């Protein structure tokens, strides 16, 4: 009888199915490649290497999967509306993309936006970063939160929730504040308008975060409650640290050189002083945010893309349905 007993060692308790690139790549099947090398070069972020081979092997199959998910979810919404006798506007499909600073969220977001928008049905795909929902610097300084910028408490979470609620409700021309990395601040009176997209990609370090309490609120939804699919960009902490420091030093040679930049002062100091400042920013701000707030949200993602040293994706983990 004991030979027939099932033990925990015999059961796969992981909520994910894990793929290596060579197994994932064939899942693109006959999906055509719609991006050129020039397109990919234009879409990638500073210091974030991505090859055409990985776009074809990783991102193209992912766009195919997402296209299936979008179609299935939209059909479910239509079925519900028919049952209720309603004739509402289309319900946008929202994809959340989370992960540390310098891990490559922006590159992934732009690549997926480009690939999804080129599917035969030509869906309208918009992209939003949550930076615009940071509190302005003046408010952060008044609250002693400038060294917590990027932490959950530095965001106007209620404004972000209202934005996502309006998007899901199919409202027209929903406005979101604009954030400038050049000025390192939210731009007063400036907004982008999101007008009934088929797909909205929402990118931010803490978009999967759940633990923040909102004053005087008993039951408040999470940002991730509005997501139909979520992606976490993962990598070893040592690699992210190295990418962050390398990007900081490269920015000293480019954007920081403009006298109007908030960070211009960092372009005029010695390399040694700049390195010390970058290490302080990493150790005392970004690493703490990663360990306290970002990494704990990784298990909530529907898909985890794990990168190796050279920014190349080495593993894909897809949540089992």
pLDDT score, position 140: 97
Spatial neighbors of 178 by CB under 8 A, at least 6 apart, are 132, 186, 187, 190, 191, 192
Convert the pLDDT of each residue in 156-187 to its tens digit: 999 999 999 999 998 999 999 999 999 999 99
**Considering the chain, what is the average pLDDT of its residues?**
92
**CATH no. for residue 19?**
3.40.50.300
Question: What is the model's pLDDT at position 189?
Answer: 95
**What are the tens digits of pLDDT across the range 253-271?**
999 999 999 999 999 999 9
User: Which structural domain range is residue 44 located in?
Assistant: 2-319
Q: Structural domain tally of the chain?
A: 1
**Over the Cα atoms of the chain, what is R_g?**
21
Q: 138-159, pLDDT tens digit by residue?
A: 999 999 999 999 999 999 999 9
Q: Which helix (H) or strand (E) holds 174?
A: strand 174-180
Give me the phi and psi of 206, to 5 degrees please: -115, 25
Give dist(CA 69, CA 93) in Å, integer: 9
- The proportion of the chain whose per-residue pLDDT surpasses 70, expressed as a percent, equals 93
pLDDT digits (tens, 9 = 90+) for 4-60: 555 555 556 689 999 999 999 999 999 999 999 999 999 998 888 899 999 999 999
Helix, strand, coil share (%) of the chain residues, nearest 5: 45, 20, 35
Residue 2: which pLDDT band, with cuts at 50, 70 and 90? very low
pLDDT band at 66 (very low <50, low <70, confident <90, very high): very high
**What is the pLDDT confidence band of residue 82, given thresholds at 50, 70 and 90?**
confident
pLDDT for position 216: 47
pLDDT at 258: 94
**Residues whose CB is less than 8 angstroms from the CB of residue 98 and which lie 6 or more positions away in sequence, other chains included:** 105, 203, 204, 205, 206, 207, 208, 230, 231, 232, 233, 294, 297, 298, 301
pLDDT for residue 218 is more than 50: yes
pLDDT band at 300 (very low <50, low <70, confident <90, very high): very high
pLDDT of residue 221: 81
Higher pLDDT, 210 or 223: 223
Q: What's the pLDDT at 5?
A: 56
Q: What is the mean pLDDT of residues 57-69?
A: 97
Q: How far apart are CA 30 and CA 19, in angstroms?
A: 19
Task: Give the Cα separation of 223 and 315 in Å (integer).
Answer: 26
CA distance 125 to 93: 9
Which pLDDT belongs to residue 65?
A: 97
């Amino acid at each position: 009888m004991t030979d027939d007993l099932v033990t925990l060692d015999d059961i796969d308790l992981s909520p994910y199915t894990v793929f290596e690139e060579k197994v994932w790549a064939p899942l693109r099947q006959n999906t055509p490649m719609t991006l050129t090398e020039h397109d990919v070069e234009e879409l990638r972020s500073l210091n974030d290497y991505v090859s055409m081979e990985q776009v074809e092997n990783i991102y193209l199959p992912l766009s195919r999967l997402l296209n299936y998910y979008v179609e299935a979810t939209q059909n479910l919404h239509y079925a519900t509306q028919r049952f209720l006798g309603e004739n509402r506007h289309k319900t946008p499909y929202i994809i959340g993309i989370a992960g540390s600073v310098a891990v490559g969220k922006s590159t992934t977001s732009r690549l997926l936006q480009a690939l999804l928008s080129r599917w035969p049905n030509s869906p309208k795909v918009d992209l939003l970063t949550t930076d615009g929902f940071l509190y302005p610097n003046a408010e952060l300084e008044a609250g002693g939160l400038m060294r917590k910028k990027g932490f959950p408490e530095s965001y106007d979470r209620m404004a972000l929730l209202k934005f996502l609620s309006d998007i899901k409700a199919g409202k027209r021309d929903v406005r979101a504040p604009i954030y400038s990395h050049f000025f390192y601040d939210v731009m007063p009176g400036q907004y982008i308008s999101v007008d009934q997209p088929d797909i909205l990609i929402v990118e931010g370090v803490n978009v999967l975060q759940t633990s923040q309490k909102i004053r005087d609120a008993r039951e408040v939804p999470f940002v991730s409650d509005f997501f139909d699919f979520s992606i976490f960009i993962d990598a070893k902490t040592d690699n992210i640290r190295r990418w962050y420091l390398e990007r900081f030093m490269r920015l000293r040679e480019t954007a920081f050189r403009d006298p109007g930049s908030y960070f211009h002062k960092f372009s005029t100091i010695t390399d040694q002083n700049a390195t010390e400042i970058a290490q302080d920013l990493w150790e005392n701000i970004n690493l703490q945010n990663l360990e306290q707030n970002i990494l704990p949200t990784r298990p909530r993602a529907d898909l985890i893309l794990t990168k190796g040293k050279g920014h190349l994706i080495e593993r894909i983990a897809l949540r089992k349905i």
